[in-house]
A and B are shown apart, each in its own frame.
Chain A
C-alpha cells in the first residue's frame, strides 16, 4: 500500500459513510442514541480536511492523522474506537507497507479497539465485523493470495460479520440496556466497519491488481 492508495481509502470511506449516513443513523436510532451516521460523517469530513492541510508522507502517517482526527472530532463512542484502530495501525505499519505488514498492523489495531472497549466477539459491536476482516486478511497472507483478493475477502468477512450481529443480544454500550430487545437489529458500528472494508476493496480494485 502506498500513500496515495491509503488516502484514497479514507476518501472512499468518507464517501460511503456519507452515502449511508441516514441508514447508519437509523440503525443507531433503533438500539443506540441515533447519532452514529452523523458523527462518523462529520469525523471523516474532518479527516479529509486534516489530510489536505498537512499531506502525509507515508501510509503510516496517513493512518496516524486519521486516528487522531477521529478521536478529536467524532464526539461519540465510535471516535475513540475507530481512532484507536487507525492510530494503532499507524504506529505499527512499517515501510514498505506490504500486504503482510498491513494485515499485521490491522490486527494490532483491532486488538487496540478490543482493549479500549473491552468488547469481545459476540457482544454485538464493531468487533464482530473487524475480527473476521482481520482473520480474512491473515488467512490471505498465509495462503499467498493477491492483494485484491485479500481485501475483497476481508470486505466480505466484515459484511457477513455485521449481518451476524442482527440476532445477537448487545452486551456493550447503550444497546446493552435494552437486553433482549436489542435482538433483531444490525449493530451500527459493525455496519460502519463493513463500510471501511468495502472502501478498501473498492480503491484496491480501482488501482488495479498488484498496485497495493
Chain B
C-alpha cells in the first residue's frame, strides 16, 4: 500500500492533520506526520521527513504532502523518482484524497492523481 507523509512547518498541524486524515479516510493507508524542526520549533527537518518516509514505506511508494516554503524545498530534495514523490496539492484536501485512494490499494500514480484532483475541489 502507498504511504503518506504530511510535512508541515508545525509539528502540531502535521500530527492533527494526520489524525484527521486517518479519521476521515480510514485506517487503511499508512499516514505519518513530519512537522516542525527536531527541537520542536516551526520549520522543516529533513531527518524527521526521512524517518516518516521509512515508517510508512511498504515498498509501493510514498507520497509527500508539504504545506509551503521550506517544507516544499526540503521535500523536493528527498524525492526519488517512482518511489518517493511530492503531491502539489492543498494540504488537508489533498491528504484526504490521497489517503482514500491509497487505502483502496491504488498504485502510486493513481494516488498522486487522486491527490491532485483535490486542487479542483470547490467548497461552494
B-chain residues with CB within 8 Å of residue A77 when the two chains form the complex? 69-70, 73
Known: A75-B37, A173-B69, A174-B69. A80 touches B76 (CB 8 A): yes
A80 close to B43 (CB less than 8 A): no
Interface residues on B, range: 10 to 19
Across the interface, A80 reaches (CB within 8 A) one of B37, B42, B47, B70, namely B70
Across the interface, B73 reaches (CB within 8 A) one of A33, A39, A117, namely A117
Tally A-B pairs: CB < 8 A: 45
**Interface size of A by Cβ–Cβ distance < 8 Å?**
18
A188 at the binding interface (Cβ < 8 Å): no
A76 at the binding interface (Cβ < 8 Å): yes
A83 close to B44 (CB less than 8 A): no
Across the interface, B45 reaches (CB within 8 A) one of A35, A75, A173, namely A75
A80 close to B73 (CB less than 8 A): yes
A-chain residues with CB within 8 Å of residue B76 when the two chains form the complex? 80, 116
B-chain residues with CB within 8 Å of residue A159 when the two chains form the complex? none
Which residues of chain A from 44 to 84 have a CB within 8 Å of any chain B CB?
A: 71-72, 74-77, 79-81, 83-84
B124 at the binding interface (Cβ < 8 Å): no
Closest chain-B Cβ to A150's Cβ sits at a distance in Å of: 30
A75 close to B73 (CB less than 8 A): no
A116 close to B44 (CB less than 8 A): no
A-chain residues with CB within 8 Å of residue B42 when the two chains form the complex? 33, 35
Q: What are 17 A-B pairs with beta-carbon distances under 8 A? A: A33-B42, A35-B42, A71-B77, A75-B37, A75-B44, A75-B70, A76-B69, A77-B70, A79-B44, A79-B73, A79-B74, A80-B46, A80-B70, A80-B77, A81-B73, A116-B77, A173-B69
B41 at the binding interface (Cβ < 8 Å): yes
Residue of B nearest to A72 (CB): B46
